Amino acid sequence: MPSKPDPADHLAARVAASEQRSRQLTRQVSRVAGEIAETERRVATTLEQIADDEPDRAETLLAKAREAREFAEHELAEQERWDSWRSGRSATTTPRPSEAK
């Protein structure tokens, strides 16, 4: 007579699958944060170049470039936070630059 499946085995399999999915999502979030940071850096560089060509708008453009660079730094911190969580270190929320002031 076949034995009944052990509920503990079923639970252990579900936990393992959940942990695997969590690791996948963590990698994905970390990657996206890095991509956002790179995009924000490119935006900042473009704004700085435009500011060089358009002195009448330079102040506004340079302020926006600073904001983009601050946001890029925030996203890099987020990427590091998610990487540390994935490696088992504590992950704490990284405040956005505007929230940290």
- Residue in the block written with tokens 């979030």: 29
More confident residue, 96 or 51: 51
Backbone φ and ψ for 92, nearest 5 degrees, come out as -115, 155
Give pLDDT tens digits for 53-73: 999 999 999 999 999 999 999
Pure H helices in 2-101 = 7-53, 58-86, 97-100
Asked whether the predicted pLDDT for residue 11 surpasses 50, the reply is yes
pLDDT of res. 5: 80
Backbone φ and ψ for 91, nearest 5 degrees, come out as -115, 125
Residue count of the chain, please give it: 101
pLDDT of res. 7: 85
Give pLDDT tens digits for 26-44: 999 999 999 999 999 999 9
pTM recorded for the entire structure: 0.73
For residue 80, which of 69, 92, 71 has the smallest C-alpha distance? Answer: 92
Backbone φ and ψ for 71, nearest 5 degrees, come out as -65, -35
For the chain, give the mean pLDDT.
Answer: 87
Instruction: Map out the domains of the chain as residue ranges.
Output: 21-85
Rounded mean pLDDT, 5-26:
90
